[in-house]
Amino acid sequence: VWDSQDVSPNLQMNPSPMNSSQLSQQHLPQHGEPVFQARRNKRSASMRKMHMRQQSAQLFMEEVKGVEQAPACRNVLFVLLFLFHLVGMAFLGNTYGPDAFVEQEDPEDDLVAISYRNVIYVACLCGAFAVTLSTLALVLMTVISKKLVQVALIVTIALAFAWGTIGIGLSPKNFVPITGIICFALSIGYTFVVWERIPFSSSNLHTGLSGIRANSGTVVVAFAFQFLALLWTVYFAYVVIGVYDAVSIG
160 phi, psi to nearest 5 deg? -65, -40
Instruction: Please report the pLDDT score of residue 185 as a whole number.
Output: 92
Instruction: Please report the pLDDT score of residue 104 as a whole number.
Output: 57
Instruction: Please report the pLDDT score of residue 81 as a whole number.
Output: 93
Instruction: Please report the pLDDT score of residue 74 as a whole number.
Output: 81
Q: Within 13 Å, how many C-alpha atoms sit on residue 3's CB side?
A: 2
Kindly report which listed range (110-124, 149-163, 193-207) carries the lowest average pLDDT score: 110-124
Instruction: Please report the pLDDT score of residue 115 as a whole number.
Output: 64
Smallest CA-to-CA distance from 213 within 137, 136, 138 is with 138
Instruction: Please report the pLDDT score of residue 11 as a whole number.
Output: 44
Q: How far apart are CA 229 and CA 225, in angstroms?
A: 6
Kindly report which listed range (1-10, 102-111, 140-149, 182-191) carries the lowest average pLDDT score: 1-10
| pTM of full prediction above 0.75 | no
Question: pLDDT by residue (tens digit) across 12-64?
Answer: 444 444 454 444 444 444 444 555 455 666 666 677 777 676 666 666 666 55
Question: pLDDT by residue (tens digit) across 217-240?
Answer: 888 888 888 888 888 888 888 888
Instruction: Please report the pLDDT score of residue 172 as a whole number.
Output: 75
For the chain, give the number of residues: 250
20: exposed, middle or buried (C-beta count within 10 Å: 0-12, 13-18, 19+)? exposed
Report CA-CA distances (Å) from 196 to 50, 149, 155, 200: 10, 12, 18, 9
**Is residue 97 within 8 Å of residue 88, measured between CB atoms?**
no
